[in-house]
Amino acid sequence: MSRDEELIEQLNCKYVQAFRELFDRFYRYLVLYAMRWVERQETAEDIVQDLFVQVWERDTCYSSYYGFKNFLYNSVKNASLDYLKHKEVEGKYIKYTILHAESGEEPELEIMENEIYRRLYQVLDELPKRCKEVFKYYLEGKKNKEIAELLQISELTVKTQKRNAINYIRERLGALYVLYALFRAGFM
Amino acid sequence: MIHYDENIIQLIQLYLVSDLSGEEKRLLETWLQQDPSHKELFDRVCMNGDVARDFEAFEKIDKDIAWKHVSGMGGIKPTAKSKGMHWYRWVAAVMLPLMIVAVGYYIVNDSGKSQRTKYKVTEIQPGKSKAILRLDNNRVIELAGEDEVRLEVAKGVAVKNNASGVVYPEQVANKGETVYNVLEVPRGGEYTITLSDGTMVYLNSGSELRYPVAFNSDVREVFLSGEGFFEVIKDTARPFLVVTDDLKIKVYGTSFNVNTYNLANIQTVLVEGKIGIQEKNSDVEFAVEPGQLALYDREKGTMEIRDVDVLSYVAWKNQEFVFDGKSLEDIMNTLSLWYDVDVFFQTASLKQLHFTGHLGRYEDISHILDAISGVTQVKFSVKGRTIIVME
């Protein structure tokens, strides 16, 4: 059994450690996801925390890792939209967001899209501190020379760190193949 | 049914961090044209995110504080483990091969957790900047690298020593007058040296570098045991040679890591530039490209060259340990050098457990021990400066 499916089985049996691991895997990305609608980080965090408390307290049995992910993304989205609906201020923008979000979404595409970002951020977050700093500037479109000046390191070091980062990202993303193979099996 | 190729997913992710080769770009384009749904996914991905901005926001979200709230509301008791929780990565990536397929390890853990104690490791400290400099006349100078001092290391040659290591003055020796110094880094130490040609060498714990006070005009040759990271200044007129027990590494202006700790093999990893490796008494040179590891089997005398994640081999130099699918035996060896402790495996089979994870080099050793014992049946017992590993 894969680690992912194992986690779900353990979650169903209420193992704290499995719950914590799933929390660690999803929490930050889900907050980011909620912020597509609710904007304020605090509100987004409340929504996602409530959701996890629910996951822990309810006796739902999840059938698969994919099913669990599906549930998380859906719940966060619905809770975010509910929040907007209940808010008294109903600006045009909010109306538009709700309308837009509710019109014929394709859940598979949506999950896929989110998983692409979630796993990418997870891998970026694993980079060692210095390497990550360099890479973030690079993502912002800064040139090697600018990065070197900002961080007071040599251009050579910038280049090296950048390449290290890329190598690491490539390798780690490669290691995720298994995940996606499973994901496919999950809803075929 | 939408079918996604795993490789394509990776290509999209790499596209997002703008690192696609020409070949990969063509692959992605072909895939996009195959089916309208492909294009739809790709457009959604591109439209809905901005990696630089979103990752910045992602990083700012504190999941440890959030976990406190969630576990509080959900009535989950804080456990001894919660302190080292960023360690959870270890959990995610623990690979349990053959030996211990701990079917029930969560059960064991769940009940055992509350009484789990922190290891008493007050005596064990991470390594720090320290070394011993042995001069030609057998005089010994202890280096601790704090305030700047000048030291005479050979007749008429004064080096500068400060927090960033020991620096030799730039000069070229006359033929036949080569004077050697030896920099010894003990267990629990690390040190940086700048040689007379400007080349920098980062030495890891338990390593030794022998080098001329000034290189002569035709070759730059140094002798290494242990582990060192080299940033070699380019000088086509004077090749740079790193000599180890069995190997001679010829350098053409470059940065790379040499590790001779392992009794079975020597690992050389090239970060950039170009190097060639020869067995000491052979003329056959193996060329190594950036991103490659040259693994020399000491017993068989064979060389294997393959692509690796360079980062995990040189992370020590950037204040990190990165273990990428390393055996517990290798991990404990690394820790024993850096924390200057002895390790004893009461259960030999545990050596073959493999782990993937990160650790700050200056963190307390208990973090890593907690992380490992938190997810497997491995237990550690610390007695003075010895760590006993058991089931």
Q: Is residue A99 part of a domain?
A: no
Other Cβ atoms less than 10 A from the Cβ of A13: the count is 12
Instruction: Give the residue numbers spanning the domain of A127.
Output: 104-184
Give the tokens for residue A156: 């050579």
For chain B, what are the domain ranges?
Answer: 6-108, 134-312, 319-390
Residue B13 pLDDT exceeds 80: yes
Would you state the pLDDT for residue B182?
95
Query: In this structure, are residues B51 and A136 in contact, taking their beta carbons and an 8 Å threshold?
Result: no
Show Cβ contacts of residue A163 under 8 Å, excluding neighbours closer than 6 positions: B271, B272, B290, B291, B310
Give the tokens for residue A164: 């290290």
Residue A186 pLDDT exceeds 70: no
> Per-residue DSSP letters for B231-283?
EPPP-TTS-EEEE-SSEEEEESS-EEEEE--SSSEEEEEEEES-EEEEETT--
Question: ipTM higher than 0.95?
Answer: no
What end-to-end distance do the CA atoms of chain A give, in Å?
A: 18
Query: In this structure, are residues B343 and B335 in contact, taking their beta carbons and an 8 Å threshold?
Result: yes
Do A76 and A124 lie in one domain? The reply is no
Average pLDDT, stretch A139-163?
89
The one-letter amino acid code at B174 reads N
Q: For chain B, positions 69-108, list CB contacts with chain A under 8 A.
A: 69-70, 73-74, 76, 79, 85, 88-89, 91-92, 106
CA–CA separation, A47 vs A38, rounded Å? 10
pLDDT range class, residue B91, cuts 50, 70, 90: very low
Q: Report the residue from B67, B291, B318 with minimal CB separation from A130.
A: B318
Please identify, among A24, A47, A81, the residue that sits at the C-terminal boundary of a domain.
A81
| Average model confidence (pLDDT) across chain B | 80
pLDDT range class, residue B154, cuts 50, 70, 90: confident
B322 touches chain A (CB under 8 A): yes
Q: Is residue A86 part of a domain?
A: no
CA–CA separation, B241 vs B260, rounded Å? 16
pLDDT range class, residue B17, cuts 50, 70, 90: confident
Other Cβ atoms less than 10 A from the Cβ of B298: the count is 15
Average pLDDT, stretch A149-173?
87
> Per-residue DSSP letters for chain A?
--HHHHHHHHHHTT-HHHHHHHHHHHHHHHHHHHHHHH--HHHHHHHHHHHHHHHHHS-PPPS-HHHHHHHHHHHHHHHHHHHHHHSS---HHHHHHHHHHHSS--HHHHHHHHHHHHHHHHHHHHS-HHHHHHHHHHHTT--HHHHHHHHT--HHHHHHHHHHHHHHHHHHHHTTHHHHHHHHHHH-
B3 touches chain A (CB under 8 A): yes
The domain that holds A112 is classified in CATH as: 1.10.10
pLDDT range class, residue B101, cuts 50, 70, 90: very low
Q: Is residue A31 part of a domain?
A: yes
Question: What letter does residue B55 receive in the DSSP assignment?
Answer: H
Q: Which residue in B has a C-alpha nearest to residue A134's C-alpha?
A: B52
Residue B350 pLDDT exceeds 70: yes
Query: In this structure, are residues B213 and B196 in contact, taking their beta carbons and an 8 Å threshold?
Result: yes
- Residue among B160, B207, B200 at smallest CA distance from B182: B207
Query: What share of chain A in percent tops pLDDT 70?
Result: 81
Would you state the pLDDT for residue B5?
66
Query: In this structure, are residues B294 and B288 in contact, taking their beta carbons and an 8 Å threshold?
Result: yes
Give the tokens for residue B326: 């390393």
The domain that holds A71 is classified in CATH as: 1.10.1740
Q: Report the residue from B10, B14, B61 with minimal CB separation from A28.
A: B61
Would you state the pLDDT for residue B377?
75
pLDDT tens-digit map of B30-69: 888 888 888 888 888 888 888 888 999 999 999 889 998 9
Do A180 and A109 lie in one domain? The reply is yes
Please return the burial class of A12, using the count of CB atoms within 10 Å of its CB with bins 0-12, 13-18 and 19+.
Answer: middle
pLDDT range class, residue B20, cuts 50, 70, 90: confident
Run of H or E residues at B355: strand B354-360
Q: Which residue in A has a C-alpha nearest to residue B360's C-alpha?
A: A128
Find chain A residues with C-beta within 8 A of B70's C-beta.
Answer: 23, 49, 52-53, 56
Q: Which residue in B has a C-alpha nearest to residue A105's C-alpha?
A: B44
Overall domain count for chain A? 2
Q: Is residue A41 part of a domain?
A: yes
Find chain A residues with C-beta within 8 A of B66's C-beta.
Answer: 27, 31, 45, 48-49
Q: How far is A120 from chain B (nearest CA, A)?
A: 7
Would you state the pLDDT for residue B78?
52
Second CATH level (architecture) for the domain B134-312:
Sandwich (2.60)
Strands B386-390 and B354-360: unpaired
Would you state the pLDDT for residue A1?
59
pLDDT tens-digit map of A106-124: 677 888 889 899 999 999 9
Average pLDDT, stretch B90-116?
33
Find chain B residues with C-beta within 8 A of A139's C-beta.
Answer: 17-18, 51-52, 55
Q: What is the CATH number of domain B319-390?
A: 3.55.50.30
Q: Report the residue from A23, A117, A184 with minimal CB separation from B4.
A: A184
CA–CA separation, A130 vs A161, rounded Å? 8
Whether residues A56 and B4 touch (CB distance < 8 A) is answered with no
pLDDT tens-digit map of B129-151: 889 999 988 888 888 867 788 88
| Average model confidence (pLDDT) across chain A | 81
Q: Out of A99-103, B242-246, B354-358, which region has the weakest mean confidence (pLDDT)?
A: A99-103
Q: Which residue in A has a C-alpha nearest to residue B316's C-alpha?
A: A128
Query: In this structure, are residues B127 and B340 in contact, taking their beta carbons and an 8 Å threshold?
Result: yes
pLDDT tens-digit map of B193-231: 999 998 999 999 999 999 999 998 888 999 999 999 998
pTM of the model: 0.48
Sign of CA dihedral B138, B142, B148, B149: negative
Q: Is residue A92 part of a domain?
A: no
CA–CA separation, B49 vs A113, rounded Å? 9
pLDDT tens-digit map of A32-86: 999 988 888 999 999 999 999 999 988 888 888 888 998 999 999 999 988 888 7
Residue B107 pLDDT exceeds 60: no
